[in-house]
């Protein structure tokens, strides 16, 4: 049996830069029609010139004309409406990081004072620029996302015309927010649909499963699966595929991030089939994102089949999820 996915989208993707960009960009561009590209480089993408230059590097590295990188800026509370008006046509969203909460986020927001944020957020509302947020506090690691719920509520209430994307949600509390506020949406990763904290640290520590936000409890995963498998209209796929060199993952100061880009579609197909929701995969992987972001996407048809695929142990110097293991589905053909 062949399974067809039309114009798959990854609404949260890390491509890094330089040599790593050249390794990982083609792995997404080959099978996806487009992706929201994260701006947390060193230094972060904060100007129009940096944005345009990075987009060109992504396109050059992708080597696929049917892949569209949807670019983002790194949030700064000092962005003016004049500046945002000039850059609006070049971006699909602005990404907000709490300062120091994850990889390359040191220049993020410290505190969430409405007075400091309102000018930029009001301008974004008027210009219809979505705000994507890494929603974690600096509290106890298992509680960080749940604690951030009050900040999501504050932003949703104070900026009702601002489209807010809760990135890579991991908790049942975040899922509950979707139906409480009209302007809150969410991305969900592949790895958070697959694993819990027990997979990361219940036995021998698995550094290649360590990410931020960290995987949570079985009941949290169940909540994520419920809205993903039903293709809740406010939920979309975002891999948060985050490549790091092997020596940065298998280290005493392990970098956070799970690299899933090369096997995303195969594993999502298997997961949705196992849970009798294959009919909703198209919405989760593309249609919902098109509606939420109001974007047009390049046409691409990805045909998968039930055929064993051995996951490579490495792509360049990056170890993927399930490295060396056998998965059930393979990509048979891609038609652009």
pLDDT at 111: 84
Assess if CATH 3.40.50.10540 describes domain 8-299: no
Phi, psi of 236 (to 5 degrees): -145, 160
pLDDT band at 65 (very low <50, low <70, confident <90, very high): confident
For the question of residue 198 being annotated catalytic, the response is: no
> Any long-range contacts for 111-120 (C-beta under 8 Å, 24+ apart)?
112/151, 112/154, 112/155, 114/154, 114/158, 116/77, 117/77, 118/158, 119/77, 119/80, 119/81, 120/75, 120/76, 120/77, 120/78, 120/79, 120/80, 120/84
pLDDT at 268: 98
Domain ranges of the chain: 8-299
Sheet order of strands, 235-237 included = 72-74, 93-96, 131-133, 164-166, 184-188, 235-237
In this prediction, residues 295-318 reach a mean pLDDT of 97
pLDDT tens-digit map of 29-60: 999 999 999 999 999 999 999 999 999 999 99
From the list 10, 64, 220, 240, the catalytic residue is: 240
pLDDT at 4: 97
302 three-state secondary structure = strand
270 three-state secondary structure = helix
In this prediction, residues 233-248 reach a mean pLDDT of 98
CA nearest to 39, candidates 62, 6, 17: 17
pLDDT band at 64 (very low <50, low <70, confident <90, very high): confident
In this prediction, residues 259-268 reach a mean pLDDT of 98
pLDDT at 97: 95
pLDDT tens-digit map of 139-148: 999 999 999 9
pLDDT tens-digit map of 174-203: 999 999 999 999 999 999 999 999 999 999
| pTM for this model (two decimals) | 0.97
pLDDT band at 311 (very low <50, low <70, confident <90, very high): very high
Taking the C-alpha atoms of 277, 332, 242 and 275 in order, what is their torsion angle to the nearest 10 degrees? Answer: 20
Return the higher-pLDDT residue of 90 and 64.
Answer: 90
DSSP state of 171: S
């Amino acid at each position: 049996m062949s399974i067809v996915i039309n114009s798959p989208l990854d609404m949260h993707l890390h491509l890094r830069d330089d040599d790593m960009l050249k390794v990982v960009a083609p792995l997404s561009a080959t099978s996806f029609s487009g992706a929201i590209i994260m701006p947390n480089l060193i230094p972060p993408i904060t100007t129009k010139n940096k944005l345009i230059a990075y987009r060109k590097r992504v396109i050059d590295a992708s080597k696929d004309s049917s892949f569209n990188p949807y670019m983002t800026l790194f949030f700064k509370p000092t962005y003016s409406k004049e500046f945002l008006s000039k850059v609006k046509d070049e971006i699909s969203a602005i990404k907000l990081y709490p300062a120091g909460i994850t990889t390359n986020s040191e220049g993020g927001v410290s505190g969430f004072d409405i007075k400091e944020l309102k000018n930029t957020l009001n301008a974004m509302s008027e210009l219809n620029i979505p705000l994507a947020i890494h929603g974690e506090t600096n509290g106890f690691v298992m509680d960080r996302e749940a604690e951030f719920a009050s900040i999501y509520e504050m932003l949703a209430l104070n900026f009702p015309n601002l489209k807010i994307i809760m990135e890579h949600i991991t908790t049942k509390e975040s899922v509950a927010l979707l139906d409480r506020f009209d302007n809150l949406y969410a991305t969900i990763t592949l790895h958070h649909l697959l694993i819990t904290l027990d997979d990361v640290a219940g036995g021998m520590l698995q550094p290649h499963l360590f990410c931020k936000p960290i995987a949570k409890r079985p009941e949290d995963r169940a909540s994520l699966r419920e809205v993903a498998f039903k293709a809740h209209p406010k939920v979309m796929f975002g891999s948060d595929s985050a490549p790091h060199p092997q020596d940065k993952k298998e280290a005493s100061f392990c970098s956070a991030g799970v690299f899933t880009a090369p096997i995303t579609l195969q594993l999502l197909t298997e997961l949705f089939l196992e849970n009798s929701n294959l009919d909703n995969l198209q919405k989760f992987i593309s249609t919902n994102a098109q509606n939420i972001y109001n974007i047009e996407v390049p046409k691409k048809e990805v045909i998968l089949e039930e055929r064993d695929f051995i996951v490579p142990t490495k792509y360049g110097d990056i170890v993927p999820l399930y490295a060396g293991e056998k998965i059930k589905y393979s990509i048979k053909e891609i038609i652009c």
